[in-house]
Amino acid sequence: MKKLSIICLFLAGCASSHFCNAQGLPGLEHKNDSAITTTLLTPDIGGIKQVVEVKTNDVNKPILLFVSGGPGSSMMNSSESFTATLRKRFTIVQWDQRDAGKTLKLNASPVAPSLELMQKDTVQIIEFIRKTYRKEKIYLLGSSWGNVLGFYIVKHHPEMLHAYYAVNPVVSQLASEKELLAILKRHLQENAEATRELAGVQIPFTRDEDLFYLRKWLFFKEGKTFATTEDFKVNFLQWSKRWSPVWNQVMQIDLPKSLAKVDIPTYFFVGGHDIQTSTNITQEYFLNIQAPKKELFLFEKSGHQIHQDEPQRFQDTIIRTLDEGQPGYALPPTSPHPR
């Protein structure tokens, strides 16, 4: 199952629930775990029931909502390792988006997902959480693709948020994919199969295979040899049937042009070895964006999965941002450009 979950990697590194076996949906009930209460809620959002998980021992704590990467992925079942410390300061909320995780298990989307639909879902989810827990504002965290939805909220509904955490964010994905392609071509120039397949990749993408070959050889470079199997190709292209139209919309987003100024504190978390969502592009965006408060935290031991690669530092850093007067980590004088 671990291998299958990795096969389902796209942006978030989580299992793509559209073609992975979803975990059985437990009863919508309260569970006590060492004074931590887990509550599963199924509000009507965008015409379907969507699953929200709330973990807390005190509902008066501020809420931190995670918006998972993907699209089509869930962080819910793997969240313990990167949220246990955070629960000391937050009520932790996980949301399985349309056609992902427990939401997919409960009901598939009757219409094809679109970027606009997912953005509307995000607004409704936050409104539901604020109303249910009587919070004027919440903290929001986007992981990879989750930043497409998160920065939409930052731009259009800053009144809902105390602050925003952008983790391995999608900033200018068209430029990022071009940078990735160039890196892979250089790194794999002695591999005849990789050279041939990467030579045919066109950006912007004109076919699902373009993105597939980029991810295949990215994962191979990272040591995931299963990415060269036929099963991986079949599963990835099955995912593409549902989600490539959304990803093509994402490729048109360019935050340096569309969101040069934000009205809330914004914290960027980047992996020193992340070439899937370019660390260089994110660092440049951070330098130029205007915000009442901004900090960038470089996780030198991490790639695209900071919450998995450095889970304790990930949590400790978020908590530090809550403590007024605590300095952040300085942006290094030269940006890492991993090969």
pLDDT of 3 > 90? The answer is no
For residue 285, give the nearest of 253, 321, 254 by alpha carbon.
254
Q: Please tell me the distance from the alpha carbon of residue 254 to that of residue 170, in angstroms, as a whole number.
A: 9
33-42, 75-84, 254-263, 275-284: segment of lowest average pLDDT: 33-42
pLDDT, one tens digit per residue, over 177-191 is 999 999 999 999 999
Q: Rounded to the nearest 5 degrees, what angle is found at the Cα of 154, between the Cα atoms of 102 and 136? A: 75
Which residue type occupies 97? Q
Percent above pLDDT 70 for the chain: 85
Task: Using CA atoms of 75, 78, 81, 85 in order, give the dihedral in degrees to the nearest 10.
Answer: 50
Predicted local confidence at residue 35, as pLDDT: 87
Q: What b/e string do you get for 297-330 counting C-beta neighbours within 10 Å, with b at 16 or more?
A: bbbeebbbbbbbbbbebbbebbebbeeeeeeeee
Q: Please tell me the distance from the alpha carbon of residue 99 to that of residue 113, in angstroms, as a whole number.
A: 8
Alpha-carbon distances, residue 61 vs 107, 139, 153, 281 (angstroms): 31, 11, 22, 34
Q: What are phi and psi of 55, to 5 degrees?
A: -120, 125
Q: Residue 39: CA atoms inside 13 Å, Cβ hemisphere, count?
A: 16
pLDDT of 25 > 90? The answer is no
pLDDT band at 339 (very low <50, low <70, confident <90, very high): very low
Average pLDDT, the chain: 88
> What are the sequence ranges of the domains in the chain?
2-171+258-322, 173-250
String of DSSP letters for 282-321: HHHHHHH-B-SSEEEEEETT-SS-HHHHSHHHHHHHHHHH
pLDDT, one tens digit per residue, over 255-271 is 999 999 999 999 999 99
Mean pLDDT value across residues 237-244: 94
Q: Please tell me the distance from the alpha carbon of residue 3 to that of residue 62, in angstroms, as a whole number.
A: 36
Give pTM, 2 decimals.
0.86
pLDDT band at 86 (very low <50, low <70, confident <90, very high): very high
3-state secondary structure of 160: helix
Q: Residue 41: CA atoms inside 13 Å, Cβ hemisphere, count?
A: 17
CATH fold, domain 2-171+258-322, is: Rossmann fold (3.40.50)
Q: Please tell me the distance from the alpha carbon of residue 79 to that of residue 179, in angstroms, as a whole number.
A: 30
Q: Please tell me the distance from the alpha carbon of residue 170 to that of residue 182, in angstroms, as a whole number.
A: 18
pLDDT of 51 > 90? The answer is yes
Predicted local confidence at residue 324, as pLDDT: 60
pLDDT band at 335 (very low <50, low <70, confident <90, very high): very low
Q: Which residue has the higher pLDDT, 120 or 337?
A: 120
pLDDT of 329 > 50? The answer is no
Predicted local confidence at residue 34, as pLDDT: 58
